[in-house]
Amino acid sequence: NVEKALYERNERYRAILNAAVDAIVTIDRRGLIEDVNPAVEKMFGYSHDQIIGESVNILIPLPDKEKHDQNLKNYQQSGRAQIIGLGREVIARHKDGTLFPVEILVSELDHLGLFTGIIRDITVRKAAELALRNQYHFNDAIITTARTIILVLDQKGRIVSFNPYFETITGW
């Protein structure tokens, strides 16, 4: 029976959306939120009922709100996509006003006049990147100012790097 098959297919898709860790937001051409998965509630702090029908701009901090509205308007007028199909990092806004980094990928559902964004919170990744950068700069400062010779050799015993003190002592 066709109705049963369609119902089961829709239930499978709904189960996949509900299980997704990433937030999934669907908006119409005016930028109004049509549907969200449960991850949106966890990530942004809005309940399903609070967010449906609202402008997607409630998830975007200033000044990016204006940029988003302009991108949507430009796309509708010109048909040229600036962000559709491209993953990018942006800042998102939680219900409580907290800003956090996310990665977003937007696609268009042509025949429905809808856009879907898949959003991943990258707060932990950004913190790890910052910690690595800080560690690198700390290590570099130690190596640069150390009053001992520091050499880095490759597997064949060739010098690939050395610190300034090596230059001072050897003249190389």
Q: How far apart are CA 114 and CA 25, in angstroms?
A: 10
- Does the pLDDT of residue 22 top 80, yes or no? yes
| C-alpha closest to that of 59 among 11, 14, 119, 3 | 119
Q: Order the strands of the 23-28 sheet from edge to edge.
A: 33-36, 23-28, 114-121, 99-109, 88-93
Which residues have a Cβ under 8 Å from the Cβ of 117 and sit 6 or more positions away? 23, 24, 25, 26, 27, 56, 104, 105, 106
Interval 29-71: pLDDT, tens: 888 999 999 999 999 999 999 999 999 999 998 766 566 666 6
Contact status, residue 101 vs residue 88, Cβ threshold 8 Å: no
Residue 78 has pLDDT above 70, yes or no: no
Find where tokens 């060739």 sit: 158
SS3 37: coil
Average pLDDT, the chain: 88
- For residue 20, is pLDDT > 80? yes
pLDDT in tens, 116-141: 999 999 999 999 999 999 999 999 99
